[in-house]
Amino acid sequence: MSRLVVISNRVGDPRKVAAGGLAVALGDALATSGGLWFGWSGKIVEDGATGEGELHQQRAGNVELVTIDLSREDHDTYYTGYSNQALWPAFHYRLDLADFGSGFFAGYQRVNRLFARKLAPLLRDDDVIWVHDYHLIPLASELRSLGCRQRIGFFLHIPLPPPPILAAIPGHEWLMRSFFAYDLVGLQTNEDADHFGRFLVGEAHAERLADGRFSAYGRTMRAQAFPIGIDVDEFQGLAESPESRETETTLKQQYAHRRLLVGIDRLDYSKGLPRRLRAFRELLANYPETRNSATLIQVASPTRESVDAYADIRHELESLAGEINGAYGELDWMPIRYMHRTWARKRLPGLYRAAKVALVTPLRDGMNLVAKEYVAMQDETDPGVLVLSRFAGAAEQMREALLVNPYDIPATAQTIQRALQMPLAERRERHAVLLKRIREYDVHAWRKDFLGVLAETAEAAPVT
Ligand SMILES: O=P(O)(O)OC[C@H]1O[C@H](O[C@H]2O[C@H](CO)[C@@H](O)[C@H](O)[C@H]2O)[C@H](O)[C@@H](O)[C@@H]1O
Ligand SMILES: O=c1ccn([C@@H]2O[C@H](COP(=O)(O)OP(=O)(O)O)[C@@H](O)[C@H]2O)c(=O)[nH]1
């Protein structure tokens, strides 16, 4: 059987806690199949010091982890710069926040080349290679130029915007050409796949063939949606951990006579947190019965703090939370319990189970695994309600959640109130459909589906 080689910027020990859906999902997927996981070590070597590009190898169960250190300059231009200040905002429809700063693009190319150079000697002829996310779009073309002929798939975890937005990215022609070094490109939703296809045909003058295949630059590549899932059983198992049980019991006792809502996100501007708090304030203002009762626990996990837009969103959110608590709080009740830290994964089930309503209201999100985790953790006899942004990738599969437009703050407040008041029969009905769907297409089905389609693709042809 071929070995699976996964490459992503963020690498995690599949047996340990991680914040960020990619590391969680790949850890789950690799723990089943075994294989090699290659990526950044998380270590930055200060300029001038030795050790840049050094490889670290360790075994985690049946997974061999190989990680690489980055120099300060490479990290700042490739990860903080081009990946998170250019591609991330642009792909999340936020050209206003995009910075195509000088040096970013060169750093991005340099690190992709470095990854290829370090990885190529570790590869076997019959390996199946699976590259992940926007940090590494050109990796396959770098590997191909080193002579790699293995099948290579790519999965984009973030949204893919409509053609006019993509066309605003300087160098987009080069990026699109890079996709053609893959045999299969996976996207989160049908909407993303549709945008991608239209861009390839309209801008890259690709020919659209049958079965989602496109031909351009002398190669054929297939593109289709594979909505990422969670490991429902593993996550449900976590609910039995002592940490989770303690969290659940404590919160249920504390909120026995109140209504608990939960939000769990990285503190990213794409997650729509300030608008969520404004909708919550509107709820308190418009529905007096929610005062002294509705409490929102908002976990905002620190992320990419050296980027200005992330520092700005933190200040905005913290001042808003303070303002709302100041206006509505009582001696024995605060409407918002805000935590700027990462919650251990083993405690999350308890939090999900104690909350009557989950607020997942990103302005744009590739998928959003929190939405699926919340559903997976509910008590089927008395489930909570998911309020979900129509702009999260998860909304394509989770129509039975209460879908909202997070830009429409009054309507979001009204929907939260509807969630708080939803009768048991309706909650059970909606939850049962959602749970069935996330079980059917869980992280294992996602992995099998992607790798199955990749196996069907023709032998890799040389890149011209
Ligand atoms: O690695 P970081 O810079 O700390 O960021 C964490 C991850 O954020 C993004 O996650 C995406 O993938 C999820 C799983 O497919 C998806 O549900 C979510 O909507 C996306 O935002 C990013 O794409 C990853 O590369 C990061 O590791
Ligand atoms: O404090 C936190 C915040 C998030 N997560 C996990 O990080 C992932 C976030 O993935 P999602 O797809 O929702 O968004 P992303 O952060 O990848 O954009 C989920 O599995 C969460 O359970 C966590 O363990 N602790």
* 236 and 315 in a common domain: yes
* 422 and 354 in a common domain: yes
Task: Tally the domains of the chain.
Answer: 2
> Ligand 1: does its nearest atom lie under 6 Å from the Cβ of 92?
no
User: Could you tell me which residues are beta bridge partners of residue 223?
Assistant: 185
- The mean pLDDT value for 411-440 works out to 98
Residue of 92, 235, 266 to test ligand 2 pocket, by largest number of atoms within 8 Å of CB: 266
| 443 alpha carbon, closest ligand | 1
At 464, the pLDDT band (50, 70, 90 cuts) reads very low
Mean pLDDT score of the chain = 94
Q: Looking at the predicted structure, is the pLDDT value of residue 24 above 90?
A: no
Q: What's the order of all strands across the beta sheet hosting 4-10?
A: 55-60, 63-71, 35-45, 4-10, 128-132, 151-155, 184-187, 219-225, 213-216, 207-208
Residue of 85, 157, 396 to test ligand 1 pocket, by largest number of atoms within 8 Å of CB: 157
* 135 and 95 in a common domain: yes
* 14 and 144 in a common domain: yes
From residue 13, alpha-carbon distances to 57, 58, 142, 155, 351 in Å are: 12, 10, 26, 20, 24
Q: Looking at the predicted structure, is the pLDDT value of residue 205 above 70?
A: yes
* 170 and 219 in a common domain: yes
ipTM surpasses cut 0.90:
yes
Residue 464 lies in a domain: no
The residues annotated with a catalytic role in the active site are 157, 365
At 32, the pLDDT band (50, 70, 90 cuts) reads confident
* 171 and 51 in a common domain: yes
CA–CA separation, 68 vs 10, rounded Å?
11
> Ligand 1: does its nearest atom lie under 6 Å from the Cβ of 142?
no
DSSP 8-state symbol, 2: P
Q: Going by C-beta distance under 8 Å and a sequence separation of 6 or more, which residues neighbour residue 50?
A: none
Q: Are 62 and 27 in contact (CB under 8 A)?
A: no
Q: Looking at the predicted structure, is the pLDDT value of residue 441 above 50?
A: yes
> Ligand 1: does its nearest atom lie under 6 Å from the Cβ of 367?
yes
| 371 alpha carbon, closest ligand | 2
Percentage helix, strand, coil for the chain under 3-state DSSP, each rounded to 5: 45, 20, 30
Least confident of 12-16, 139-143, 146-150, 205-209: 12-16
| 358 alpha carbon, closest ligand | 2
* 430 and 449 in a common domain: no
User: For 212-253, what is each residue's pLDDT tens digit?
Assistant: 999 999 999 999 999 999 999 988 998 999 999 999 999 999
Q: How far is the CA of 259 from the centre of ligand 2 (A)?
A: 23
* 78 and 48 in a common domain: yes
Residue 404 lies in a domain: yes
Q: Under DSSP, is residue 117 helix (H, G, I), strand (E, B) or coil?
A: helix
User: For 139-164, what is each residue's pLDDT tens digit?
Assistant: 999 999 999 999 999 999 999 999 99
Q: Looking at the predicted structure, is the pLDDT value of residue 28 above 80?
A: no
Q: How far is the CA of 146 from the centre of ligand 1 (A)?
A: 29
Residue ranges making up the domain that contains 288: 232-440
Q: Are 181 and 193 in contact (CB under 8 A)?
A: no
Amino acid 20: pLDDT: 60
Neighbouring C-beta atoms of residue 381, cutoff 10 Å: 8
Residue nearest to atom 5 of ligand 1 (CA): 20
* 405 and 305 in a common domain: yes
> Ligand 1: does its nearest atom lie under 6 Å from the Cβ of 340?
no
DSSP 8-state symbol, 271: G
CA–CA separation, 116 vs 439, rounded Å?
36
> Ligand 1: does its nearest atom lie under 6 Å from the Cβ of 158?
yes
User: For 266-318, what is each residue's pLDDT tens digit?
Assistant: 999 999 999 999 999 999 999 999 999 999 999 999 999 999 999 999 999 99
Residue 463 lies in a domain: no
| 158 alpha carbon, closest ligand | 1
Residues with CB under 6 A from ligand 2: 19-22, 24, 264, 266, 299, 301, 342-343, 345, 348, 367-370, 373
With a pLDDT cut of 70, the percent of the chain lying above it is 95
Residue 450 lies in a domain: yes
With a pLDDT cut of 90, the percent of the chain lying above it is 86
Atom of ligand 2 lying closest to residue 299 CA: 1
Amino acid 53: pLDDT: 76
Q: Looking at the predicted structure, is the pLDDT value of residue 14 above 70?
A: no
Residue of 243, 369, 372, 398 to test ligand 2 pocket, by largest number of atoms within 8 Å of CB: 369
At 384, the pLDDT band (50, 70, 90 cuts) reads very high
CATH number at residue 182: 3.40.50.2000
Residue 282 lies in a domain: yes
* 240 and 205 in a common domain: no
Residue 292 lies in a domain: yes
Residue nearest to atom 24 of ligand 1 (CA): 22
Amino acid 462: pLDDT: 45
Amino acid 442: pLDDT: 94
Atom of ligand 2 lying closest to residue 303 CA: 16
> Ligand 1: does its nearest atom lie under 6 Å from the Cβ of 265?
no
Residue 461 lies in a domain: no
At 16, the pLDDT band (50, 70, 90 cuts) reads low
Residue nearest to atom 15 of ligand 1 (CA): 157
* 197 and 128 in a common domain: yes
> Ligand 1: does its nearest atom lie under 6 Å from the Cβ of 39?
no
Amino acid 15: pLDDT: 60
CA–CA separation, 306 vs 301, rounded Å?
14
* 259 and 402 in a common domain: yes
Amino acid 461: pLDDT: 46
Q: What is the bridge-based pairing of β-strands 55-60 and 63-71?
A: antiparallel
The CA R_g of the chain, rounded to the nearest whole Å, is: 22
Q: Looking at the predicted structure, is the pLDDT value of residue 12 above 90?
A: no
Atom of ligand 1 lying closest to residue 132 CA: 25
- The mean pLDDT value for 380-400 works out to 98
Residue 76 lies in a domain: yes
Q: How far is the CA of 68 from the centre of ligand 1 (A)?
A: 19
- The mean pLDDT value for 53-82 works out to 93
